[in-house]
């Protein structure tokens, strides 16, 4: 839940930076593209292992050693890249005439983006955002390689202690309890959006 809250804002900021027009912003766009390409290309478990084991091993004063902290950082880095692309698709789906109309009313580029473009873009990408968060919930199990006690790790510890593997079934049920309602909510939003579009086309 902490990672999801952070990702919502960091991914939106990255998408906005990548959407900045003009040659003066090319270096910023290039960095945003490089970030998205890198963290979408590297397996999540490698990032978790690199940060979770590597950062504390540096033994530098002030660097946290908490496995939970580095697990959250790793998930944020990975999923910010994925979610930023979802946001960017939403921004690009808003017709340029919307921004032009806002500019004609005296709004600055930033005001037009914040008041006109982004509200429409975010509303359009809510279903795919929820799908990404379903994936994020499942990937929290990967943090167990650092020793953090989450559902999968707890099931592993229990099974190693009593030699009873039913704990994995319980862990699977817990993940399903989290993900299935979110999946059905996503389907509901997609169906509602489809009905709105059909109603608008009929009018």
Any idea where the domains of the chain sit in the sequence? Answer: 2-202
Residues 6+ apart with CB under 8 A from 193: 124, 127
Q: What is the pLDDT of residue 201?
A: 60
What is the topology classification, in CATH, of domain 2-202? Answer: MetI-like fold (1.10.3720)
- Are 75 and 140 in contact by the 8 Å Cβ rule? The answer is yes
71-122 pLDDT, tens per residue? 899 999 999 999 999 999 888 888 888 888 888 888 888 888 888 888 888 8
7-20 pLDDT, tens per residue? 999 999 999 998 88
pLDDT band at 33 (very low <50, low <70, confident <90, very high): very high
pTM of the model: 0.78
| Res 190 pLDDT > 80 | no
- Are 136 and 79 in contact by the 8 Å Cβ rule? The answer is yes
Dmax over Cα atoms in the chain, in whole Å? 70
Please give the average per-residue pLDDT across 118-135, as a whole number: 85
């Amino acid at each position: 839940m902490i990672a999801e809250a952070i990702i919502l804002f960091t991914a939106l900021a990255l998408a906005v930076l990548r959407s900045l027009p003009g040659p003066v912003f090319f270096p910023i766009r290039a960095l945003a593209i490089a970030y998205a390409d890198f963290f979408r290309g590297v397996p999540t478990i490698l990032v978790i292992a690199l940060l979770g084991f590597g950062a504390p091993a540096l033994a530098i004063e002030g660097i946290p050693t908490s496995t939970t902290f580095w697990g959250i950082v790793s998930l944020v880095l990975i999923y910010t890249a994925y979610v930023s692309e979802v946001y960017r698709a939403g921004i690009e789906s808003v017709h340029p005439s919307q921004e032009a109309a806002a500019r004609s009313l005296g709004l600055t580029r930033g005001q037009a983006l914040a008041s006109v473009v982004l509200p429409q873009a975010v509303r359009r990408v809510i279903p795919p955002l929820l799908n990404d968060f379903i994936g994020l919930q499942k990937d929290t199990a990967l943090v167990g390689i650092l020793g953090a006690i989450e559902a999968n790790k707890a099931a592993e510890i229990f099974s190693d202690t009593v030699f009873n593997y039913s704990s994995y079934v319980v862990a699977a049920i817990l993940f399903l309890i989290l993900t299935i309602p979110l999946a059905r909510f996503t389907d509901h939003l997609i169906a509602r959006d489809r009905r709105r579009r059909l109603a608008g086309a009929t009018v």
